[in-house]
Structure 1
């Protein structure tokens, strides 16, 4: 089974986020980026399928930040091919619709049986990459998936609904799934292994253009402004209780 796993870098929210000069986006040249965690789970799910039934895994990502290391790490974990999308306008990121339109060419070139995307990413949270891509390709798909098994030209998936409800679905290939979590923790690739892959393997490059498609427009970004502060209540337990009651009465929360 041939599998395609789209990947991307997202802002590391643990680090400081810096707004670009235009005030409408994050400055991706200044902020720390990391692999989208859901994409890591999608790759792990692909690796589990490969170990179970064999096949080929193609990791693909648009050129932004240190994406080469992400793709080489995927190869070190067990992917068979890394494809880097290159072109103007990629450095500040893509909307999911733009990314889906660009992936159409990759799918036409690679002809995968199964596409596994991350269910969402922390820079959009709309979870629409799988939806857009399946609509463009007219592939059967399921998203918010926690397990994928492949056999006899079909994939069987476990899809999660709210309230703890699990649906078991069968999809005819070629198909597409949005992975929420893999059955196993994403594996670790030692740095030495990644460096070895970098020396012995090369990435394929595909020239792309950022499509001009409708999408949400950011009017402005701004850091939160503090307009107050916490009051630290001092004293023993009785004094603290009296002060707390007084504050609640001042705010009309107690009679």
Structure 2
């Protein structure tokens, strides 16, 4: 049996981002793409499950950036058995959660995995709803913000993070879909030499897909955060700091 994990390349938010002259998207020529952090955790959780159950992991992604191969080869180097790249006319196209689910749902239905794992959210989505949207399309049970999983007597146990340090243990009947918040351990490291070896030996499967019919949100304008120097470091005794805080609050009409 198989476990499918959805991977997406996203702009590296650690790097300085530049806005294109159009003003409504990033300058793609300067963007560095990396694997979505939550998808990396989804991959790790899928591999942990597969190691315990004997399932095979299939990495699946939509190549909207032209940069997906690196993530798929890395997934193969870590232990995935297959890698599938969905290709189409995605140039300068931003896919909403609903559009992404529309593309992925028939592919996943054909693959018939007993479990689908995806990151709980991504820096470039607006709602973090890929897992429940996929589940709605496929008619499968789902859970999101998951921080641990295990198979038990043919059923899936998923630990969902709530609030205030509380968690909820759920039982789901496969096939199911999970939005992973964090794997049970940090994503494993794989040497660059191993990834290069896989690139020489393995093949990424390609499937042509159509542009989705679901409408996407149109981005009207992007802008960088405005820079301002309004912070003031308060020093002195506790009484002096408290007095200065009161002065500042009064000056702003807050007291």
Change (3 A) 1:245 1:127: closer
For residue 3 of structure 1, what is the aligned residue in structure 2? 3
For residue 198 of structure 1, what is the aligned residue in structure 2? 199
Distance 2:231 2:117 in 1: 49
The answer to whether the aligner puts 1:135 opposite 2:145 as a matched pair is no
Q: Residue 28 of structure 1 contacts residue 92 of structure 1 at CA under 8 Å; is this kept in 2?
A: no
CA distances 1:35-55 after superposition (whole Å, capped 9, x unpaired): 101000000001001111111
State the SS of the aligned residue for 2:164: helix
Instruction: Provide the aligned C-alpha RMSD in A.
Output: 2.5
The number of residue pairs the alignment matches comes to: 251
Report how far residue 161 of structure 1 moved: 1.2
The answer to whether the aligner puts 1:162 opposite 2:163 as a matched pair is yes
For residue 40 of structure 2, what is the aligned residue in structure 1? 40
Unaligned runs of 5+ in 1: none
Distance 1:138 1:83 in 2: 23
Change (3 A) 1:231 1:197: closer
Distance 1:95 1:29 in 2: 22
Distance 2:122 2:163 in 1: 19
Distance 2:160 2:68 in 1: 30
Q: Residue 109 of structure 2 contacts residue 138 of structure 2 at CA under 8 Å; is this kept in 1?
A: no
Q: Residue 25 of structure 1 contacts residue 221 of structure 1 at CA under 8 Å; is this kept in 2?
A: yes
Change (3 A) 1:99 1:232: closer
Distance 2:149 2:84 in 1: 23
Change (3 A) 1:145 1:237: closer
State the SS of the aligned residue for 1:162: coil
State the SS of the aligned residue for 1:99: helix
Q: Equivalent residues in 2 for 1:117-136 (5 A)?
A: 117-124=118-125, 126-136=127-137
Report how far residue 246 of structure 1 moved: 6.9
Change (3 A) 1:145 1:244: closer
Change (3 A) 1:91 1:39: farther
Q: Residue 27 of structure 1 contacts residue 92 of structure 1 at CA under 8 Å; is this kept in 2?
A: no
TM-score, with structure 1 as normaliser? 0.88
For residue 188 of structure 2, what is the aligned residue in structure 1? 187
For residue 12 of structure 1, what is the aligned residue in structure 2? 12
Q: Which moved more, 1:38-47 or 1:24-33?
A: 24-33
TM-score, with structure 2 as normaliser? 0.88
CA distances 1:109-135 after superposition (whole Å, capped 9, x unpaired): 211110001011112252100011000
For residue 144 of structure 1, what is the aligned residue in structure 2? 145
Change (3 A) 1:70 1:91: farther
Q: Which moved more, 1:160-169 or 1:181-190?
A: 160-169
For residue 22 of structure 1, what is the aligned residue in structure 2? 22
For residue 102 of structure 1, what is the aligned residue in structure 2? 103
For residue 88 of structure 1, what is the aligned residue in structure 2? 89
Distance 1:36 1:127 in 2: 12
CA distances 1:39-75 after superposition (whole Å, capped 9, x unpaired): 0000000100111111111001111242101100000
For residue 210 of structure 2, what is the aligned residue in structure 1? 209
For residue 179 of structure 2, what is the aligned residue in structure 1? 178
